[in-house]
Structure 1
Amino acid sequence: MNLLAFVCVLAAVQGDEQVPLVAWASDGFVLSPVNAPSAGHTVSVDELESYLNRAMSTTPHNLLLFLQDKLSVDDFTMYGGVFGNKQDSVFHNLGAALRSSSSLWLPSVSSSGTASVSTLLQNQIDTAPLYMNPETLAQLRLNASVTTLLVFHLPNSGGLDISAKEVLSGNDEVIGQVLSIMKAQSVPYTAVFTALRPSRVIEASPAVHSVGSRSLLQSRRGEPPAPYAPVEFKEKGSTCILLWAEKMVVSQFQSGKWERHDLTSQTFGEGVMPDLTGSSCNETHSRLVLNYVDVLNFRSFKFIFVMNQRHYKVSARRWFTMDVVQLEYDGKKASFNASRHIYAPAEYSYRCESVSSSRYPQFSPHSSKDNANEWHISFDDFQIQGFNVAGKDFSYANDCAGFFTPGIWMGLVTSLLMVLVLAYGLQMIMQLHTMDRFDDPKGPAISVPQTE
């Protein structure tokens, strides 16, 4: 492979963040030379667009974008690098590509620039992006003469621990799979690997310090305190299900009124370890079971989420759905169907500001005879992921927020009323006609008899 790489290195610049960015071309194509900026210079969005336009002017217009949520230049140096021949490097596939190419190092690229990479690439080829994964790509037959922009979302890189190394190694395997598929189909390409923000931020020291004062182990400026951790279920040592909610409430209709119980403190929070006995997960099926005691006077109470992953031919990708939400209490069951509302791409998580079985219900009883009619369940700021979990962080969220917000609806209705008023006025004007007959001025005058 003849490759030219862009590696945009992080700089500790106060008020801005930088992340690495790497670009290369497939075998037989060479990126146009680009002069490196001066040391310490941060590449802005406009400058990045200029660099990409010049470098990719002679490369294929089949573009691959590997977009990670968090990445720092320290991740390259800490886990083996990409240009060396270290056997323990987690960037094996990426390094194999870059070591065989000439390279140009850029000092830094602002996070706003890397966040706009998808738009910049889309503007170059004037083609909408296709969000893919290696499994979906393997089922497609690409045409070298057809311009495409394929976007691959990679999981987050964690902190300074072994899980971060495993995540980065897994991301490198994804890159290797995609490059192998492109090579097998003989489709030339130009690839970009970058992230939205750095995984580590080095805070610049303040210019003025108060005399005799010091601050140790403080949080990053302007960053809110971290919320409590999500419920995490592990299978064979690796996390496969994550659940989080700001508030979790169940209500049952008893003795002519609704009895309410808040499960939040029993499920989430520092030091809280919910009983997940009965939970399970595999590649196509996930089942999360939350076991409680003494809920609404029931000795045994279970909250069960059942999720399944399937391949849909229409979208040519895999999606997961929450098929059943079930309550089990003292030998009885109440089942809700959620598959029509709670779903997301298999590599994503699902998030919604409010999920409930009452107002605008996402959970509906399976039948009119089901015990679910006696129950109400609700979540605030609900998020769940049952497949493709990397580390302890949720993947990109498929949000339930609709496209047409109340403000948009108000604007549309107001515009429609104005159009109707204008159309009615035009119609009235078009119906006006001039007189076709007039009085003859030479004829006798009209006499009006007068009576006294």
Structure 2
Amino acid sequence: MAASRTGSGNARMILYLFLCVFAAATSDEQVPLVAWASDGFVLSPVNAPSSGHTVSVDELESFLSRALSTSPHNLLLFLQDKLSVDDFTMYGGVFGNKQDSVFQNLEASLRSSSSLWLPCVSSSAAAGVSTLLQNQIDAAPLYMNPDTLAQLRLNASVAALLVFRLPYSSGADMMSTKEVLSGNDEVMGQVLSIMKTQSVPYTAVFTALGPSRVIEESPAVHSVWSRSLLQSRREEPAVPNPPLEFKEKGSVCILLWAETVVVSQFRSGKWERHDLTSKTFGRGVTPDLSGSSCNESHSRLVLNYEDVLDYRSFKLIFVMNRRHYKVSARHWFTMDRVHLEYDGKTATFNGSRHIYAPAEYSYRCESVSSSYYPQLSPHSDKDNANEWHISFEDFQVQGFNIAGTGFSYASDCASFFTPGIWMGLVTSLLMVLVLTYGLHMIMQLRTMDRFDDPKGPAISVPQTE
């Protein structure tokens, strides 16, 4: 009887995987998600989605909310770079051959505990699962590894979200992928063993940021006479880094994001450049925000760095203020100052003339710089601002009225009359002027009122000197 149930479960799993792969050919990219609870705890029952259905962000939030309502609030998130249902069918034991499976620890945990299996989750929903879990327990995620966890003493009564990043190999050597997945499974086994040793109940989730294999949509009918061009495979879009958050009293009050952050200093006759992007943004990156503050009328975001252009202490400070303007009868926020503090010296830039937005909006600009088309101008000739350049690419900031964990509607810095629009207007105006001049010349044409008669005397035209 037990063997029958096992065979039925494997058949159902195979059917789900097949339908998910079939759905991937005609829909967005999907990744699987697995959740389970520690021994002695049961996940709340959830009505599984129909076979082949892709779980959206809202649906995933609903599933997790219901499943985690009765499970422990010490959450373990195993977040792999890439994962597909094909990895389970190729390297796992879904077909019954459990001895060759690389997911030994994962499958053992699923067999011995209550679990939730979602084979088709949209990649956008899976990429934001950390935020969804954070909202469930209202605790910031902690990125760590098994060695760090072994030194940490968890409290079963205090909710915690522990995130473990796992790599993925997609090289030509299939054994390398198998070895990486086997190593990831060993990491999960170590983490679960540590949690069991400390007698801390947990709820674990295993998913990925994106799919490891993308099945491209192909036309249903191919003509034997058709010809196609060889082309390289489409690269998967990179998952953007989350914005930088500063919290005051448990709620987010300042958000900052940029694709690149670069500071440059002119010394020894040349500009020396330093990229701060990797130290500011990225999953697992926790910049030092000591000195930051926020209230209803004033926000101050302080980014503390070390070893920037050979300076031991380096700070990038954003000062924003919220004011009421009677002319527009609404509140606006402006970025009044951007300070660079380095080893006791200061360089100050003024941004209030260009960086502003309604108080309930965020400000966004494709490029914010102190050099080309400067939005940041030196505040005074007496400080060291002329020696520095600051550059932000795809810059977005919000210092007031933040609802949730994301940016509000963005007020873009791009003006309505862009260079392309101006070129079109000027060209159209020139064409209208040429057309008007041509019509004017045509309307001035007059026919002759006298004609030369060959049988009569010739028309004489008197000559005047």
TM-score (ref. length: structure 2): 0.49
SS at match of 1:217: strand
Whole-angstrom CA distance in 1 between matches of 2:402 and 2:296: 11
State the distance in 2 between where 1:158 and 1:272 align: 14
How do residues 47-446 of structure 1 correspond to structure 2 at under 5 angstroms?
160-161=132-133, 163=135, 217-219=207-209, 224=237, 226-435=239-448, 444-445=457-458
Cα pair 2:452 2:459 within 8 Å, conserved: no
Match of 1:111 in 2: none
Equivalenced residue count is 267
Q: Secondary structure at the match of 2:303?
A: strand
Structure number with higher helix proportion: 2
Q: Which moves more between the two structures, 362-371 or 244-253?
A: 362-371
- How many Å separate the matches in 1 of 2:253 and 2:393? 22
Tell whether the 8 Å contact from 2:61 to 2:132 is kept in structure 1 after alignment: no
Determine the C-alpha separation between the residues in 2 that align with 1:330 and 1:157: 40
State how far apart, in whole Å, the 2-side matches of 1:276 and 1:160 are.
24
1:131-186 CA-to-partner distances (Å, cap 9, x unmatched) read xxxxxxxxxxxxxxxxxxxxxxxxx99954574799xxxxxxxxxxxxxxxxxxxx
Distance 1:261 1:303 in 2: 13
C-alpha separation between the residues in 1 aligned to 2:448 and 2:137?
A: 89
Quick one: structure 1 residues 345 and 164, their matched pair in 2 at CA, closer, same or farther if it must change by over 3 Å? farther
Partner of 1:59: none
**1:365 shift after superposition:** 1.3
> In 2, Cα distance between the equivalents of 1:302 and 1:412?
45
Deviation at 1:322, TM superposition (A): 0.6
The alpha-carbon deviation at position 375 of structure 1 amounts to: 1.1
Q: Work out the CA distance in 2 between the residues paired with 1:395 and 1:158.
A: 20
Paired residues of 1:164 and 1:391 also in contact (CA < 8 A): no
Contact 1:71 1:157 (C-alpha < 8 Å) held by counterparts: no
Name which of structure 1's ranges 320-329 and 307-316 shifts more when overlaid on structure 2: 307-316
Gapped runs of 5+ residues in structure 2? 1-22, 29-49, 51-56, 67-127, 139-180, 182-205, 215-235
Q: Give, in angstroms, the shift of residue 275 of structure 1.
A: 1.7
Letter in 1 for 2:379: H
Deviation, 1:335, is: 1.2
What is the rounded CA distance, in whole Å, between the counterparts of 2:132 and 2:383 in structure 1?
Answer: 49
Alignment root-mean-square deviation, CA: 4.0
Secondary structure of 1:428's partner?
helix
- Offset, 1:75: 5.9
SS of corresponding position for 1:411: helix
Contact 1:163-1:391 at 8 Å conserved across structures: no
Q: Which deviates more, 302-311 or 405-414?
A: 405-414
For 1:159 and 1:233, locate their aligned partners in 2 and report how far apart those are by CA, in whole Å.
15
How big is the shift at 1:412?
2.2
Please show how residues 40-51 of structure 1 align to structure 2 within 5 Å. none
Q: Partners in 2 of 1:265 and 1:331 — Cα distance?
A: 25
CA deviations on 1:361-384 (whole Å, 9 max, x unpaired) are 111112344421221100111111
Q: Render the CA deviation track for 1:405-450: whole Å, top value 9, x for unaligned.
A: 44433332332221121011012123323345566888644799xx
Secondary structure of the 2:341 match is: strand
Contact in 1 for aligned 2:351/2:377 (Cα 8 Å): yes
Closer, same or farther: CA 314–160 of 1 in aligned 2, 3 Å: same
Change (3 A) 1:417 1:401: same
Structure-1-length-normalised TM-score: 0.50
**In the superposition, relative to structure 1, how do residues 276 and 219 fare at CA in structure 2: closer, same or farther (>3 Å)?**
closer
Q: CA deviation at 1:284?
A: 0.6
- 3-state SS of 1:373 partner: helix
The worse-fitting range, judged by mean Cα deviation, of 363-372 and 282-291 is 363-372
The Cα shift of 1:340 comes to: 1.7
Looking at structure 2, the residues matched to 218 and 78 of structure 1 have their Cα atoms a distance apart, in angstroms, of: 19
Q: Is the 8 A contact 1:158 1:164 kept in 2?
A: no
Rounded Cα–Cα distance in structure 2 between residues aligned with 1:164 and 1:397? 27
Whether the 8 Å CA contact 2:337–2:349 is kept in 1: the answer is: yes
Q: Take 1:157 and 1:412, find their aligned partners in 2: how far apart are those partners? A: 48
